[in-house]
Structure 1
Amino acid sequence: MSTTSPAKGTAPPVSAPLPWSGLLALSTAAFTAVLTELLPAGLLPRMAPDLGVSEARIGFLVTGYALASFAAAIPLTALLRGLPRRPVLVGALIGFAVSNAVVAVSSSYALTFGARLVAGGMGGTLWAMLAGYAARMVPAERRGRAIAIVLAGITLALALGVPAGTALAGTVGWRTAFGLLFGLAVLLVGWVRWRVPGFPGETPHARVPLARVAALPGIPAVLSVTLFLLVGHQVMYTYVAPFAAHAGFGRTGLVLLVFGAATVVGIWITGVLVDRHLRPTLVAALALCAAVMLALGLAAGVPGVLLISVALWGVAFGGAPTLIQTALIDASGPERADVATSLQTTVYNAGIAVGSLTGGLALDGWGAGALPWTALPLVAVALGVVTAARKAFPATRR
């Protein structure tokens, strides 16, 4: 833990060991949020009969969560920015616990949907906090690695948590699965109070208006990269099943497994490189994403090319969020990280929505073969912004 007073918001000296227990608590919070958000997608056939609705309406439980997260991130972060950070974090985790408990016992679709909206609002608050919290727990020279550890919870949730949760629900029932998520959130409350240091909120005289945070040098460039990368990624990822079928490889589950496992490798590599080589690592990741889209456009019909390309895509994309978020916090400073990250959370969710829509239009208009060609220029724009914006993505981090 910090060898200085956490109440002053100061980071430990460079020689201090990483606060692993606290960082892993934040990583588990990220894991819990992703699993809470996405688990209904794997449980459509099981939840629909019990709640007396169609599978499509169960899918709306994911949509409602995402929309609430999108809508809540900026206003809730602005409203709560003056409060001590740990109570806000604990409050968000309690919100997750209550929401999952209600879903576990509810027989009403309306009540379940309302609980999911609450969880989405908590998710928007949580995502605005996690990276900035991690940055304040370590010296600036180790900020990227701390953020990588926290964001690894997202990767593990996607690669392991959602498939395992879906399989578990098939064995013990979907209500038990949400009950276990309730229990995990409750345990996290205790873990956070025990091992995560407390930091003060922003004092009134130190608060920078939201518009000024958005205009800080480097912030617009980082947000632009976030948007274009997410739109390009989501064009392909949302419609990976029809693209795999178009390529003559109908085993979508294997394609997703390869991608998920590769993201774990990507975030590990990023954790090693981010603090000393952020800019070249991000340039390499985006260039690799662009090369993958080109390969998928030219030769996806060869199974070996498809799987190797998907694996390289996973490695590149797995580390990109950590690299971009580290650049964002470098630009905003840890004291304004929550506000800056709330902006990025909103842009991130907008990128997912726009990417899914763009991919759907491309799929309907030109077929699955057009998806990588649609994604390629978007990823190329993100690469171009990083290449041009040297102050936002410096070769050497300060």
Structure 2
Amino acid sequence: MRTKSIARRVLMSLRQHGSRGFLSLLGFAFVVEGALYSAVTPILPLLSRRFSMSDTRAGLMLSSYSAGIVVGALLCVVTLRYVNARGVAVGALAVLGVSTVVFAWAHTFEAAFAARLIQGIAGGATWTACTAWLLRLWPIDKRGEALGLAMGPAIVGAVAGPAIGTIAIDLGIGGPYTAVAALCLGAACWLLRMPPPTALGGTVQTKHGTVASRRALALLGVAMTVITGALVGLINLAGPAVLVSVSSVERAGGVVFVIAALTTVIAARPLGVLVDRWGATRTASLGMLITAIGLPVFGVGLGTYLTGALVVLIVVATNICYISSGALLTGEGERLGWSLHFLTALTATVWGIGETAGGVVAGIGLDRIGTEWTSAAGGLLAAAMLGGIIVVSRCVVAANTNVLSPEVSCPAEEDCAEQLD
């Protein structure tokens, strides 16, 4: 009955905010943000020739968006205190559209770099505001499903980004990027027509547990998010190189990652439901276990098909870990009284830090110790995180058991004893 009541309240809230149209619009915002994040990779050689960029400047251009995401997410912590999520999302999408036009038609490195950085800031603000808006529509114990809804479109955008970049190589950067900018502005105008977000009605069921145990679980969610981001940075960098080396086909990496993305899109919402049913720590343990085993085997390069299958499996496993960590962090954080806006921004920030650090460290590792040892180190990192999840979970269970099992007799038991006497 309680599950049906929750589902009824969710459906009523979705109808209030535009139902499928509203979810489609938020999904489009996630797609655009993800696409602009990854679209620069194919056109980086073109930009290097246009602006006579050194390798250092090319690295700055590539990483400026990630740095902007962190800044944009942190700015949302303050902005969302005074402006609702709809207002922030509309403004961020508008800025994203304008900065995309500037980037497309820039004639100097400085202008393109500044526009790319502003793109990242606006993208981080868009992701944080839209995610906070989406999470407000779901009960606290259904956060996994909500995050699954957000991850699916974001991954579609990550796949569409390189396609946009490839089209830009043939047609020029100006046209495709201007079209994407127009879509951003159109989405901003559409969002402006939506009613402001309101929290889901009804009371939140508070789980038993001490403040210390909830704080430990929230901090565990932070650690899981950082480590998952680092593992994603590793597989995104090492995956294409290993696939090309074992298959001798340049397109192998792109094909496998498209398959991995489509698989994740299909599985994102069911995985979110699984997180809600099993619990975030259990599903995160499963994801980390798969990653810890899969990464070292992937680094060996055991043929095209097996390596490709491992990449798909690892990508899905890291997606499980991200949904689990986000559900754990936002759920336990809210039970501690932390703001949902702060928690959403914190999730985006630590994810960006982890992914950036993971990509940088993985690049150094690939240059100095090779693919096998770098992948093995990634597997060891996942195994260490798995051990941390198990230890913290058991400590929390033990602490809560001690709190919930005081040596005091139950009144009902006393009544029964009196009747027996």
The reply to whether TM is greater than 0.5 is: yes
Residue in structure 2 matched with residue 128 of structure 1 by the alignment: 128
Query: Quick check: 347-356 or 276-285, which moved more?
Result: 276-285
Give matches, 1:354-365, under 5 Å.
354-365=357-368
**Residue 391 and residue 183 in structure 1: after superposition, are their counterparts in 2 closer, same or farther (change >3 A)?**
farther
Say whether the 8 Å CA contact 1:66–1:120 is kept in structure 2: yes
2: CA distance, partners of 1:68 / 1:14:
33
Distance 1:364 1:64 in 2: 22
Q: Give the AA of the match of 2:165.
A: T
Name the CA distance, whole Å, in 2 between partners of 1:392 and 1:78. 34
CA shift at 1:53, angstroms?
4.2
Match of 2:230 in 1: 231
Q: Is the 8 A contact 2:230 2:354 kept in 1?
A: yes
TM-score under structure 1 normalisation? 0.82
The answer on 1:351 being equivalent to 2:321 is no
Choose from 316, 335, 339 the match for 1:336. 339
Other-structure match for 1:13 = 9
Contact 1:73 1:346 in 2 (8 A): yes
Kept in 1, the 8 Å contact 2:225–2:350? The answer is yes
DSSP-derived class of the 2:276 partner = coil
Partner of 2:326: 325
Structure 1, residues 115-167: CA drift from partner, whole Å, max 9, x if none? 122222222323333322111123335433222112212111123x1232123
Unaligned runs of 5+ in 1: 1-10, 201-211
Give the letter aligned to residue 269 of structure 1. P
Deviation at residue 174 of structure 1 after TM alignment: 1.5
Q: Deviations over 1:179-225 (max 9, x none)?
A: 0111111111122122363359xxxxxxxxxxx9xx94522110111
Distance 1:141 1:360, change over 3 A: closer
Counterparts in 2 of 1:158 and 1:263: CA distance versus 1, 3 Å: same
Q: How does 1:139-178 map to 2 (within 5 A)?
A: 139-159=139-159, 161-178=160-177
Residue number among 377, 386, 391 corresponding to 1:388 in the alignment? 391
Q: Which residue of 2 aligns with 1:203?
A: none
The count of residues paired between Structure 1 and Structure 2 equals 369
1:124-273 mapped onto 2 (5 Å cutoff): 124-159=124-159, 161-195=160-194, 197-199=196-198, 216-245=215-244, 247=246, 249-250=248-249, 251-273=252-274
How many Å separate the matches in 2 of 1:247 and 1:196?
A: 52
Which of the pair is proportionally richer in helix?
2
Structure 2 vs 1, CA of residues 38 and 248 (structure 1 numbering), >3 Å: closer, same or farther?
A: closer
Identity across matched positions, percent: 21
Inter-CA distance 180–15: structure 2 relative to 1 (3 Å threshold): closer
Q: Partners of 2:295 and 2:110 in 1: how far apart?
A: 41
Deviates more, 1:141-150 or 1:186-195: 141-150
Aligned to 1:291: 293
Alpha carbons of 1:28 and 1:36: their partners in 2 closer, same or farther (altered >3 Å)? same
Q: Normalising to structure 2: TM-score of the pair?
A: 0.78
Q: How far did residue 381 of structure 1 move? A: 2.2
Cα deviation for residue 277 of structure 1 reads 2.5
Name the CA distance, whole Å, in 2 between partners of 1:127 and 1:156: 14
Cα offset, 1:226, TM superposition: 1.2
1:13-162 equivalence runs, <5 A:
13-14=9-10, 16=12, 18=14, 19-51=19-51, 53=53, 57-58=57-58, 60-159=60-159, 161-162=160-161
Q: How far does the alpha carbon of each residue in 1:310-365 deviate from its partner, in whole angstroms, 9 at most, with x for none?
A: 12112222333222212221112297122122222222122122212322232233
Q: Does 1:314 align with 2:310?
A: no
Q: Structure 1 residues 131 and 328 mapped into 2: Cα distance closer, same or farther (>3 Å)? A: farther
Report the secondary structure of 1:13's partner residue. Answer: helix
Letter of the 1:262 partner, please give it. Answer: T
Counterpart amino acid of 2:38? L
Contact 1:265 1:318 in 2 (8 A): no
C-alpha RMSD of the superposition: 3.0
CA distance in 2, matches of 1:123, 1:14: 27
Match of 1:367 in 2: 370
Q: Could you tell me how far apart the structure 2 residues matched to 1:282 and 1:137 are? A: 24
Tell me, in whole angstroms, the C-alpha distance in 2 between the residues paired with 1:316 and 1:352.
16
Letter in 2 for 1:128: T
Deviation at 1:388, TM superposition (A): 3.2
**Contact 1:248 1:301 survives alignment (8 Å):** no
Q: Which moved more, 1:179-188 or 1:38-47?
A: 38-47
